[in-house]
Amino acid sequence: MVPRVWSLMRFLIKGSVAGGAVYLVYDQELLGPSDKSQAVLQRAEEVVPPAMYQLSQYVCEQTGLKMPQLPAPPKLNFHFRDTWNSGILTVMSALSVAPSKAREYSRDGWEYLKERIK
Amino acid sequence: MSDSELGRKWDQCMADAVVKIGTGFGLGLVFSLTFFKRRMWPLAFGSGMGLGMAYSNCQHDFQAPYLLHGKYDKEQEQ
């Protein structure tokens, strides 16, 4: 009797957790149109870092530990276009100066070798 | 399509892909832990579903200005 009740309780708890996750996804429209996803990311960027900070403060107060200064949280609202454009510009400028830099480094290396051989 | 609009659509696509793949992975993780005995396949299935949905949304967004919506005119038959 008790194991049966316990297995039923376990199934209900698991079902509640899974059902809650599905409802959360449905309520927040995470699998909806693409403009809603961008709004979700912006909302997450506003909400998540202060929540993490408050949680760390609460843990410090409860346990008495002193948390070290954590690095800044990563940016959630990522602009792919700006990063891609700046990446392309960096690569192209590196390619354009590559021959002159190679000549300069090889000349410096040759001078260094001549100094060492003397 | 202008360059700024194209860039805006790419940004939207990337954000959408991140959210959908993450959501699919998260749902797969929940179901793997609760019902499927910590197997790997719900994670892969959820991530794949999210990726497919994001790809479909992106494809629709990029094709949207060029799609023609026709209407069948019954009067032509008479």
Instruction: Determine whether the interchain pair B53/A31 forms a contact, defined as Cβ–Cβ distance below 8 Å.
Output: yes
Task: Report the C-alpha gap between B65 and A1 in whole angstroms.
Answer: 64
User: Structure pTM?
Assistant: 0.66
Pairwise CB contact (< 8 Å): B15 & A25: no
Interface probe, candidates A23, A31, A36, A41, chain B, greatest B C-beta count within 10 A: A31
DSSP for B11-78, please give it: HHHHHHHHHHHHHHHHHHHHHHHHTSTT-SHHHHHHHHHHHHHHHHHHHHHHHGGG-------GGGG-
Per-residue pLDDT tens, chain B, 78 aa: give them: 677 788 888 888 888 998 999 999 999 999 999 999 999 999 999 999 999 999 999 998 888 776 666 777 777 655
Q: Which amino acid is present at A37? A: S
Between chain A and chain B, how many beta carbons pairs sit less than 8 Å apart? 62
Determine the pLDDT at residue B24: 94
Using a CB-CB distance cutoff of 8 angstroms, which residues of chain B are in contact with residue A34? 12-13, 15-16, 54, 57-58, 61
Residue B78: per-residue pLDDT: 56
Residue B37's region, left for phi above 0, alpha for psi from -120 to 50, else beta, is left
Per-residue pLDDT at A82 = 76
| pLDDT tens digits, A12-63 | 999 999 999 999 999 888 888 888 887 888 888 888 888 888 888 888 888 7
| C-alpha distance from B66 to closest chain A C-alpha (Å) | 19
Among candidates A117, A114, A94, A95, which has minimal Cα distance to A106? A114
Measure CB to CB from residue B31 to each of A18, A35, A81 and give the nearest one.
A18
To the nearest whole Å, the CA of B70 is away from the closest chain A CA by 24
- Give the residue extent of every domain in chain B: 3-62
- pLDDT of A3 reads 84
Instruction: With CB atoms and an 8 Å threshold, state whether A21 touches B27.
Output: yes
CB atoms < 10 A from the CB of A15, how many? 12
Residue B65 CB coordination number (10 Å): 9
The minimum CA-CA distance between A66 and chain B, rounded to whole Å, is 31
Please tell me which of the candidates B23, B30, B61 has its beta carbon nearest to residue A18: B30
A26 has a chain B CB within 8 A of its CB: no
Joined together, the tokens standing for residue A48 give 């998540």
**ipTM of the shown complex:** 0.72
Minimal C-alpha gap between A28 and chain B (Å): 11
Q: What is the pLDDT of residue A75?
A: 64
Q: Let me know: does A60 contact A70? Beta carbons within 8 Å.
A: no
Q: Are B35 and B68 in contact (CB under 8 A)?
A: no
Alpha helices in chain A, H assignment, sequence order: 2-28, 34-63, 80-117
Token representation of residue A53? 């900070």
